[in-house]
Structure 1
Amino acid sequence: MTTPIALRFAETDLDAIATATGRVAVFVGPNAKLGPSARRVNRLTKGAVARYVESEAFEKAKEGTAHVLSWPAGMAADAVDVVKLSRRPSQADARKAGAALAKVLGKGGALIAADGHKAAADIAFGVAMRAYAFDTYKTGDKTAPGEVTMMATNPEALAAEAGPMAAVAEGVFFTRDLVSEPANILTTDDFAARLAAMQELGLEVEILEEADLEKLGMRTLLAVGQGSESPSKVVVMQWNGGGDEAPFALVGKGVVFDTGGISIKPAGGMEDMTMDMGGAGVVSGVMRTLALRKAKANVVGLVGLVENMPDGKAQRPGDVVTSMKGDTVEVINTDAEGRLVLADVLWYAQERFKPTGMIDLATLTGAIIIGLGHEMAGVFSNDDDLCNAFLKAAAAEGEGAWRMPLSPAYDELIKSQIADIKNTGGRGAGSITAAQFLQRFVKEDCPWIHLDIAGVASVKSETALAPKGATGWGVMALDRLIRDRYEG
């Protein structure tokens, strides 16, 4: 797993500012009033900070952005970062400020003078989130940032407040690592082994092998992976810090590589299909976070791990397979495989655990990218209360999500002439018909959300808290939902 940035908290020591190496960061509110650390830096640099904050450049700067004073006279540091940030900023601006500092971190590390800033924990979270880099397979000189020390008036209280956030960050990193790994490394066996290792954190982890899945009747899931040398699996992770009531369930699609099967994908962009296990990655990251922060909730996470490959044994367009539920499915397109995986795992989750609610995540359709781009995940739900609670949590954490429609009218598009249902309804409303397909495997009394994360799991440009590539989208929102709704 990617090593988190070394971040420690210390009591404010104004005398340490002059001798600190690497970078020194101070915060100034929009009113241009300098706090204790900013005043000390200003004196050391003979008024350079004051000249900047009195300038038009500072006035025009947005909250959460940093201005660099390079090679400041009177200090040992290579640079001073002057961050414009209110004393009581929004969570988004505070995390943005931390991310701005992380982007310029070097091997020399940094001293961040937070003084008594009210949002210091969120600033630290922003630093940690943006300092992530997946460079496992780079053989050259790696530019891992040095240690970051955050000075505060009450470092013990800050460390206590930042602790749960650090657990969230580690869950996000775990997800990003999984999504970033190449398919020759992250096989279904390797994926399952990484999840089994989380038993050390207190999770109960169970791996269902192909023989187990055959006995359970998970034939739609098994059909997807029958053309691959990698064995299909379902991994069940249980965290119970909340008593005897039924758990809340998270279900993830884990297609470690997807060529489209016999309905083979175009070659252009196929290398990106290493991220087609993004839903399973998010579920895994959330479960890691819950264990690390000892959440007082009862949550079960299930992931279906398969590989979709062309082979003489692979399923064909026109095949009919029978799901665990008993419904028959005509396979129109073997590239619409994620919903076949989820169908069986969703049904199994309900049959075994009788959950109080259930959310599935999948990099399911290109159609959701056409509709929402890379800013929002598609949200489909049969329950307004659960859906609104999730949307509130996602908004609070700055993770874009937009509710999409469900309607029986769309079921007409996935009717089959020879089976109960077919696995795709064509290009029109592609993300909606995929959700309608999944809803068939959700019991009427189970509150449910389907999250189509195809556009947000991995992106080509950096986001507020992540470099380009895997984002870990969903870990923060789902952890917030569980904290707000399911913890006792």
Structure 2
Amino acid sequence: MDIRFVAAGSGDVLAVMAGEGGELLASAQALDTATGGRLSKAAKAARFTGGPGQVVDVLAPEGVDFSRILVIGLGKLDAANGLAVERWAGHAVKRTLTSGAEKLVLQPEALPGVSKADAGAHAALGARLAAYRFDTYRTKLKPEQKPTLTTVEVALEGPAAARARADQDAAVVEGVFFARDLVSEPPNVLYPESFAERLRDLETIGVEVEILEPATMEKLGMGALLGVAQGSARPARLVSMKWNGSSSKNAKPIALVGKGVTFDTGGISLKPGAGMDEMKGDMGGAAAVAGAMKAIALRKAKANVVGVVALVENMPGPNAQRPGDIV
């Protein structure tokens, strides 16, 4: 999806802001006046209160360069921050992603604690994150499931400043998508060895990656981790990722540690069958650390950071760890 920053946008759908109580912000107020009160009337009919994520979808009248107008709530304006703007933009993208619309225009406003340039950057970040999809294994999509949205324009005064601010977020988006991809993979594809190899790819962007195998882990006394792995045919891995970006020789590293149980059946203490498929998500902590390391490296952060993830599959079996074992 292409994100653009413009002074004035045009497209299929326009998204504007409203606060608590249905208060229309400047762009929405101007549009409401130009359309003879169309937005305020629609908001009243829908009992719109401007709560976070609440949406009024209005068919645009003749003379407006859009087919639809989305009035999306921010909640309390005095408490609205950058995250609120990201969520506002995210709601707009989710509303239009598969709607048939090809182009969405976001009109963010300056808020009490957010400048207009920062609001534009946050809107772009929220749009990018909301457009994420994991369709790797989907072979068929119904027409109504296929994304149609190809372009998002962030329309505001001084678009260059917002674009410069948003460029700094590109690495964050890459890191978040990396983590989301890892969490979304099925456990027969992402297991300790394959997870570790995906992390080795971070070497291409300057991360030092060290992968420990069971023999080394045993020498280091990692009995608890190896005990969990006993019931699985998949051997455990421990991965250390290092980013040395500080210019100071005395800078202490920041340490990030993530749990990486790629599938957790509960081992010999088997979990209930209902919802068992969701146990692939027990490696979400490791995915978060991996995503953070990717973002840190892509941003070329001026800090020393170490990310450590313990990767293991917890399965029942003749060698599975028993409750009460000393490891």
Class of the TM-score when normalised by the shorter of the 2 chains: 0.7 to 0.9
Q: Does 1:299 align with 2:305?
A: yes
CA spacing shift, 1:287–1:23, aligned 2, 3 Å: same
Q: Which amino acid aligns with 1:143?
A: K
CA spacing shift, 1:59–1:171, aligned 2, 3 Å: same
Match of 2:5 in 1: 10
**Secondary structure at 1:227 match in 2:** coil
Match of 2:113 in 1: none
Contact 1:239–1:298, Cα closer than 8 Å, also in 2: yes
Pairwise CA distance, 1:199: 1.6
Q: Does 1:113 align with 2:119?
A: no
Pairwise CA distance, 1:230: 1.3
Pairwise CA distance, 1:237: 0.5
Moved more, 240-249 or 55-64: 55-64
Match of 1:222 in 2: 226
Match of 1:204 in 2: 208
**Secondary structure at 1:310 match in 2:** coil
Matches within 5 A, 1:323-338: none
Equivalent-residue separation in structure 2 for 1:261 and 1:170 (angstroms): 34
Equivalent-residue separation in structure 2 for 1:175 and 1:80 (angstroms): 33
Residue of 14, 37, 44 corresponding to 1:24? 14
Match of 1:188 in 2: 192
Residue of 258, 267, 272 corresponding to 1:261? 267
Contact 2:125–2:173, Cα closer than 8 Å, also in 1: yes
Residue of 167, 176, 183 corresponding to 2:180? 176
Aligned residues between the structures: 308
**Secondary structure at 1:69 match in 2:** strand
Q: Does 1:143 align with 2:146?
A: yes
Q: Does 1:123 align with 2:113?
A: no
Deviations 1:1-31 (A, max 9, x none): xxxxx24232213xx53xx2x3122345665
Pairwise CA distance, 1:239: 1.0
Equivalent-residue separation in structure 1 for 2:120 and 2:138 (angstroms): 33
Equivalent-residue separation in structure 1 for 2:140 and 2:32 (angstroms): 36
Q: Which amino acid aligns with 1:8?
A: I
Residue of 317, 325, 331 corresponding to 2:323? 317
Equivalent-residue separation in structure 1 for 2:78 and 2:66 (angstroms): 25
Equivalent-residue separation in structure 1 for 2:59 and 2:309 (angstroms): 49
Pairwise CA distance, 1:255: 0.9
Contact 2:55–2:72, Cα closer than 8 Å, also in 1: yes
**Secondary structure at 2:188 match in 1:** coil
Pairwise CA distance, 1:93: 2.8
Q: Which amino acid aligns with 2:123?
A: I
TM-score, normalising length: structure 1: 0.57
Match of 1:74 in 2: 63
Q: Does 1:281 align with 2:287?
A: yes
Contact 1:23–1:110, Cα closer than 8 Å, also in 2: yes
**Secondary structure at 2:132 match in 1:** coil
Match of 1:3 in 2: none
Structure 2: where are the runs of 5+ without partners?
A: 111-115
Pairwise CA distance, 1:76: 5.7
Q: Does 1:160 align with 2:164?
A: yes
Matches within 5 A, 1:49-88: 49=39, 51-52=41-42, 55=44, 60-62=49-51, 65-70=54-59, 72-75=61-64, 77-84=66-73
Equivalent-residue separation in structure 2 for 1:72 and 1:200 (angstroms): 52
Pairwise CA distance, 1:57: 5.6
Q: Which amino acid aligns with 2:254?
A: F
Contact 1:28–1:34, Cα closer than 8 Å, also in 2: no
Contact 2:106–2:123, Cα closer than 8 Å, also in 1: no
Structure 1: where are the runs of 5+ without partners?
A: 1-5, 322-488
Equivalent-residue separation in structure 2 for 1:174 and 1:123 (angstroms): 21
Pairwise CA distance, 1:140: 2.0
TM-score, normalising length: structure 2: 0.82
Q: Which amino acid aligns with 2:277?
A: E
Q: Which structure carries more relative contact order (alpha carbon 8 Å, separation 6+)? A: 2
CA spacing shift, 1:261–1:24, aligned 2, 3 Å: same
Equivalent-residue separation in structure 2 for 1:31 and 1:268 (angstroms): 45
Pairwise CA distance, 1:95: 2.5
Q: Does 1:271 align with 2:277?
A: yes
Residue of 241, 245, 248 corresponding to 1:241? 245
Pairwise CA distance, 1:263: 2.2
